[in-house]
């Protein structure tokens, strides 16, 4: 079975009826990793409903295989749920079987996929498909059966019109789980670190408070290669650059190739490293050991001489991010900036702690990308890609 394949079974029982639904099962030898089985059952008022989820038995189930079952029953119902099982000879590690039950008056259930996003329980795309989803054949057919059963049982009990209305609404109105609102395309920031300067190969602190060096000859070649790669992709719709010379020069080379203008955003500038500007890490360690240790230990610590802390940089970058997201909703924008701002964009998108800044490698003229969605979520699409530097322009 292909990885990520899912089997969904849906059952429903109406008012005053005793209904049984057999969900879905999956098992056997050699089931691919990540195969999932989902069963959904729902029982409404006055019903004695029983749901048998999904089951399969066998020998040799891998240690990491997990089985989850869930059931629910509504008002006045005596509901029993037998969970879900997954097994078989040689089932791959991590194979999972899940059952989900939901009970409510005229409502539908939703499932949570392994990426943590709300997804349809039937007819849904894989977790990698983001917020997509729809009403699959199994779901639609089960809804029709539920509506008919609800109408028949309610008419028998003397409440025909009201029950028919509820059943019709249940079928006609999709729940939030199967058809989430279309949030539209995200604002995507392609994050380009500037090309090399004379200070880059020497690994010297070069922030916004130093000599503001321009690109070296190698740095200009790198910018040309980035421009060629971005021209081939053809997705960039706007360019925004830090005000420093090396970023404006890099952005200008790319803009000339793409036929776009460059706007300057002060919030994209590099951190001010104070008295450390132009020094190597070893030189700072030798001259300002206590200040360096404090800086490495806390994002609130400033470099010697009143530089900018990483906490202050993060606040500035977050405000700039929000401003640019609002200005470029649904567009792909190239942000030409520096090491600390790019790492901060990525860190904030991942929800990582400040010390993560010291655990990222970011090369000159590298590309990273983060997408921002209308619901406030972010997705890191790319980090420190330098493949274009190995290609001929």
At residue 385, what are phi and psi to the nearest 5 degrees?
A: -80, 125
Q: Which of 224, 249, 270, 277 is catalytic?
A: 270
Query: Is 221:316 a contact under the CB 8 Å cutoff?
Result: no
Residue 288 has phi, psi (to 5 degrees) of -135, 60
Give just the sign of the alpha carbon dihedral 206, 207, 213, 217.
Answer: positive
Contact, 267 vs 246, CB < 8 A? no
Distance between CA 321 and CA 370 in Å, rounded?
11
Closest CA to 52 of 24, 14, 78: 24
Strand order across the 36-43 sheet: 6-13, 36-43, 96-101, 66-68
CA 43 to CA 224: how far, in whole Å? 64
Identify the three-state secondary structure at position 190: strand
Residue among 1, 3, 7 nearest 37 (CA): 7
194 is catalytic: yes
Q: 55: which DSSP letter?
A: -
Residue 247: strand, helix, or coil: helix
CA distance 200 to 178: 51
Q: Which residue in 5, 177, 208 sits closest to 97, CA to CA?
A: 5
Pairing of the two strands 332-337 and 187-193: parallel
- Specify whether 270 is catalytic: yes
- Active site residue ranges: 194, 270
């Amino acid at each position: 079975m292909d990885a990520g394949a899912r089997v969904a079974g849906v059952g429903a029982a109406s008012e005053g009826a005793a209904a049984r639904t057999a969900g879905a099962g999956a098992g056997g030898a050699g089931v691919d990793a990540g195969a999932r089985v989902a069963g959904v059952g729902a029982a409404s008022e006055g019903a004695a409903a029983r749901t048998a989820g999904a089951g399969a038995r066998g020998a040799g189930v891998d240690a990491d295989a997990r089985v989850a079952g869930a059931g629910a029953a509504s008002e006045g119902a005596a509901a029993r749920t037998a969970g879900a099982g997954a097994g078989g000879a040689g089932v791959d590690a991590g194979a999972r079987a899940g059952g989900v039950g939901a009970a409510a008056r005229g409502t539908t259930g939703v499932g949570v996929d392994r990426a943590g996003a709300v997804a349809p329980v039937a007819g849904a795309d894989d977790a990698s498909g983001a917020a997509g989803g729809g009403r699959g054949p199994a779901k639609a057919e089960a809804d029709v059966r539920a509506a008919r059963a609800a109408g028949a049982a309610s008419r028998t009990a003397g409440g025909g019109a009201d029950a028919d209305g509820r059943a019709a609404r249940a079928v006609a109105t999709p729940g939030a789980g199967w058809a989430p609102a279309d949030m539209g395309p995200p604002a995507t920031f392609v994050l380009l670190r500037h090309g090399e300067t004379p200070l880059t190969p020497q690994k010297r602190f070069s922030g916004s408070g130093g000599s503001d060096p321009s690109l070296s000859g190698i740095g200009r070649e790198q910018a040309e290669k980035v421009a060629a790669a971005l021209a081939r992709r053809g997705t960039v719709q706007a360019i925004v650059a830090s005000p420093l010379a090396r970023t404006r020069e890099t952005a200008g080379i790319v803009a000339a190739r793409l036929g776009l203008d460059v706007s300057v955003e002060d919030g994209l500038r590099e951190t001010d490293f104070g008295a450390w500007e132009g020094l190597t890490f070893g030189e700072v360690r030798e001259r300002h050991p206590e200040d360096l240790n404090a800086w490495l230990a806390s994002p609130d610590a400033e470099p010697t001489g009143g530089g900018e802390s990483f906490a202050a940089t993060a606040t500035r970058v977050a405000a700039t991010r929000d401003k640019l997201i609002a200005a470029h909703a649904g567009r792909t924008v190239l942000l030409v900036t520096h090491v600390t701002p790019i790492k901060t964009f990525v860190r904030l998108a991942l929800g990582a702690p400040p010390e993560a800044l010291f655990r990222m490698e970011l090369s000159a003229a590298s590309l990273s990308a983060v997408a921002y969605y209308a619901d406030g979520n972010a997705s890191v699409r790319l980090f420190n890609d330098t493949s274009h530097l190995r290609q001929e322009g």
